[in-house]
Amino acid sequence: MPKAIRFSRYGGPDVLEVVDVDRPTPGPGEVVVAVEAAAINPGEISIREGAFADMWPAHFPEGQGNDYAGVVHAVGPGVEAFRPGDQVMGFQPRAAQAEFVRTGADRLARKPTALGWPQAAVIPGVGATAYAEVEALGLSEADTVVVSAGAGGVGSIAVQLARLRGATVLATGSVSSFPFLESLGAIPIEYGDGLTERIRKAVSGSVTAYLDHFGRGNVVTALDLGVPPSRINTLADGTAVARYGVRTIGQAEADTPEVWEQLAAMAVAGNLVFPIDSIYPLTDVRSAYNKLAKRHTRGKIVLTMSRAVQPTLAVTPPP
């Protein structure tokens, strides 16, 4: 039987289980995708630990994972845009970490054959998030922008997109991440106490925009640097959004197959890299999340499926 990740209570990675599930069948307008790779994301840790139980409660047994890439396995009635064998990318909340995903056909984008499975799997999540926040701030060659946690999944993409717009980019991280940040075109800045002064010393003019992926005072740092609230975007500090009126634009604002395909085309053209820190088999999902929780990744962590599934022409007959 197909495998999928489930958890039946809130807790740490030890609550995650690889279980047998029924193979999904597509209904009208739906597609079943045989997953090749699925991303893991920090927000999934908070959901699994119950931190968002009031806002986004789990329905046990709960699935996990959002963004993935794979091969169309079966299509339901009325689906004309895809056929079995097509390579695709998708975003299906709390369902992506599985060997098969059932989704609406309108929630899929075409994956270029030249793009690797791990890279494609992270585009609908961190790719769309970074795209949305850079677009929201309207960055240009006139800007000097700080990207906090620049070596992380979203940060590493945001650095590149900001550079493509001509902005000067400073990226915060640990000293060990400096060579990686420089390879992305950023000026590396060590995070921690004294960050504001280090940023001031690193630029000749003023900082005009700030992208926060880490929280822990980055919004205050941006304000101390004189960045207007309208040009500060945080994905990690909800309290600062309410207190200072800064922005919080993310994945939801670029949650479209058209954006995913645009980013994939940029990657194939060599203009954008989706760094992959490490790859784990689905069965080692606990280790993958243990590593993610340390918050020292360079790019994304991805799960891959250890099975070979051939596409089928099976469809669900109309009711």
Query: Please, is 114 exposed, middle or buried when counting C-beta atoms within 10 Å of its C-beta (0-12, 13-18, 19+)?
Result: exposed
Q: What distance in Å separates the CA atoms of residue 195 and residue 260, rounded to the nearest whole number? A: 34
Query: Residue 160: which residues within 8 A CB-CB, separation 6 or more?
Result: 184, 185, 272, 273
Task: Tell me how far CA of residue 236 lies from CA of 203, 230, 250, 270, 306, in angstroms.
Answer: 25, 16, 11, 30, 33
The position carrying tokens 């920090």 is: 42
Domain with CATH 3.40.50.720 in the chain: 126-252
CATH of region 3-124+274-304: 3.90.180.10
Q: What distance in Å separates the CA atoms of residue 111 and residue 34, rounded to the nearest whole number? A: 14
Per-residue pLDDT of the chain (319 residues; tens, 9 = 90+): 999 999 999 999 999 999 999 999 999 999 999 999 999 999 999 999 999 999 889 999 999 999 999 999 999 999 999 999 999 999 999 999 999 999 999 999 999 999 999 999 999 999 999 999 999 999 999 999 999 999 999 999 999 999 999 999 999 999 999 999 999 999 999 999 999 999 999 999 999 999 999 999 999 999 999 999 999 999 999 999 999 999 999 999 999 999 999 999 999 999 999 999 999 999 999 999 999 999 889 999 999 986 443 443 333 333 3
The position carrying tokens 């597509």 is: 26
The type of residue at 43 is G
Q: Which of 184, 241, 183, 185 is nearest to 212 (CA)?
A: 241
Q: What distance in Å separates the CA atoms of residue 288 and residue 285, rounded to the nearest whole number? A: 5
Architecture of domain 126-252: 3-Layer(aba) Sandwich (3.40)
Domain with CATH 3.90.180.10 in the chain: 3-124+274-304
Task: Tell me how far CA of residue 212 lies from CA of 22, 209, 216, 277, in angstroms.
Answer: 41, 10, 9, 20
Query: Residue 19: which residues within 8 A CB-CB, separation 6 or more?
Result: 3, 4, 5, 6, 61
Report whether 139 contacts 207 (CB < 8 A).
no
* Residues facing 303 on adjacent strands: 38, 280
222-228 contacts, C-beta under 8 A, 24 or more apart: 222/146, 222/246, 224/196, 225/146, 225/196, 225/199, 225/200
Tell me the whole-structure pTM to 2 decimals. 0.93
Report whether 88 contacts 110 (CB < 8 A).
yes
Q: What distance in Å separates the CA atoms of residue 147 and residue 218, rounded to the nearest whole number? A: 10
Q: What is the pLDDT of residue 313?
A: 38
Q: What is the pLDDT of residue 306?
A: 62
Report whether 66 contacts 128 (CB < 8 A).
no
